[in-house]
């Protein structure tokens, strides 16, 4: 079984200390953890409108990206980086918070729409739909009018712990994705039970 050629992992979030621990920054948490595990440090690159770090997994050199454009304009950063390194969308994974999944759940999927997520909407506008999504479940407030406040605030401790566990499990799955392929990684992630 062959692995997935993977050259960019973009974690979505908002820059600035005031956003650091909000649910909307789960994608940042994910790439931060990958960088820590692989001894890499993020540096700010204006030409990519974001911070990048480089890691090596198996045979793959992977660039981690944190757009610093704010969530709604994430696509610019992803496109600038992918254009520079000539990376097609199918070799890009975008990690993001997901309202439509229970807290602590994590799912991997290829392609599809934006599901109302403004970061994904902007990336699709810039590079199309043909990229991978690592969806980190943060739950839903139950009322659409509360969504913005919900994602821009910190989760209660028990929920935050579940999200952090999901981020850690997702990071565990990256070597599987790279070396054994998407199907194996999905099986690992999707069969995991979340302890409430």
> Any idea which residues carry the catalytic annotation?
24
Of the candidates 83, 95, 85, 75, the one whose C-alpha atom is nearest the C-alpha of residue 32 is 95
Phi, psi of 142 (to 5 degrees): 95, -15
Tokens 């820590």, residue? 36
Give the integer Cα–Cα distance in Å for 52 and 42: 5
| Contact of 93 with 110, CB cutoff 8 Å | no
CA dist 124 → 20, 79, 131, 182, 195 (Å): 25, 10, 9, 21, 33
Give the integer Cα–Cα distance in Å for 50 and 157: 29
Residue 89 buriedness (CB in 10 A; 0-12 / 13-18 / 19+): buried
State the CB neighbour count (10 A cutoff) for residue 1.
7
């Amino acid at each position: 079984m062959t692995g997935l050629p993977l050259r960019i992992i973009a974690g979505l979030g908002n820059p600035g200390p005031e956003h650091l621990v909000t649910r909307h920054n789960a994608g940042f948490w994910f790439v931060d953890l990958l960088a820590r595990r692989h001894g890499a440090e993020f540096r700010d690159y204006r030409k990519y409108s974001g911070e990048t770090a480089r890691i090596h997994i198996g045979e793959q050199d992977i660039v981690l990206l944190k757009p610093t454009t704010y969530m709604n304009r994430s696509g610019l950063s992803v496109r600038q980086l992918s254009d520079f390194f000539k990376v097609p969308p199918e070799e890009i994974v975008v990690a993001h918070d997901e309202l439509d999944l229970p807290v602590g759940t994590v799912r991997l999927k290829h392609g599809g729409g934006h599901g109302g997520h403004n970061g994904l909407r902007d990336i699709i506008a810039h590079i199309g739909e043909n990229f991978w999504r690592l969806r980190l479940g943060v739950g839903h407030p139950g009322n659409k009018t509360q969504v913005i406040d919900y994602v821009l605030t910190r989760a209660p401790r028990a929920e935050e712990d579940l999200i952090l566990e999901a981020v850690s499990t997702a990071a565990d799955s990256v070597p599987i994705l790279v070396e054994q392929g998407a199907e194996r990684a999905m099986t690992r992630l999707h069969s995991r039970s979340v302890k409430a």
